[in-house]
Amino acid sequence: MSRIFITGSADGLGRAAAGTLLADGHEVVLHVRGRQRLDAVQDLLNRGARAVVGDLSDQGQAEDVAAQVNRLGRMDAVIHNAGVYTGRQILPVNVIAPYVLTALVTRPDRLVYLSSGMHFDGRPELGGLDWHGRGESVSYSDSKLFVTALAMAVARLWPGVVASAVDPGWVPTKMGGPNAPDDLRLGHLTQEWLAAGNDPRAGESGGYWHHQQQLDPHPAARDVAFQGELLRELEGATGIAFDRS
């Protein structure tokens, strides 16, 4: 049995992954944006899940989420699932929050970051970005390129951790819309497999995965110079150092 923390697990792929992992006998820690969202996961709480609360668009609350998780004990895996598609919160939720949680949550054995096939359209440009969302300075594609590069940087710098990025496909969730053509079950299967699977391939760090198949990400995601620039930008924006040891 593994203990797994999943961000953004009140609905969509995060909730679906939580339900499957609970059914498989794992201990799951849910995350919801506000206490009013606990009702949406009451059935999962009744099945033994626990929950932490905090709005990941606010760095202070993201830091508090990390503290709540640490008080529950060390996680075996973290799935960074929370994300937004439009608006000023793209960088805070899609990039700053995964960085803050990676830096502050007690280091697990496995880290899974939700990317997207749209990251291939992202621009590896970091100048002049509004990391805290006072304005809208990047696209969703940009944010997913950045978080994919973060996953690859973690895999390189933390050899004792299996860090992976996942393209879940265009699936029929609230974000994807009801007419999305991809398979919803396949949309969360890979995250579950990477977080808790026994397949040796799931233990390969630094992969970019789509439906349990490893693909090549955008070249910038594995560019060490770009990774270093990204980490410096995130450290400067958050005031939180990334432990490179």
Given the residues 113, 144, 174, 208, select the one marked as catalytic: 144
User: CB 175: neighbour CB atoms within 10 A?
Assistant: 18
Active site residue 99: no
User: What is the rounded distance in angstroms from the CA atom of residue 60 to the CA atom of residue 110?
Assistant: 24
Residues 6+ apart with CB under 8 A from 194: 77, 110, 112, 162, 164, 166, 202, 209
Radius of gyration of the chain (CA): 16
User: What is the rounded distance in angstroms from the CA atom of residue 43 to the CA atom of residue 209?
Assistant: 30
Question: 224 vs 143, 155, 157, 240, CA distance in Å?
Answer: 18, 12, 10, 20
Alpha helices in the chain (DSSP H): 12-23, 42-46, 59-71, 90-91, 97-104, 140-157, 184-196, 224-238
Q: CA 101: distance to chain centroid?
A: 9
Active site residue 208: no
User: What is the rounded distance in angstroms from the CA atom of residue 10 to the CA atom of residue 12?
Assistant: 7
Given the residues 99, 113, 140, 208, select the one marked as catalytic: 140
Tokens read off for 152: 């690859």
The amino acid at residue 71 is: R
User: What is the rounded distance in angstroms from the CA atom of residue 97 to the CA atom of residue 62?
Assistant: 6
What are the residue numbers of the active site? 140, 144
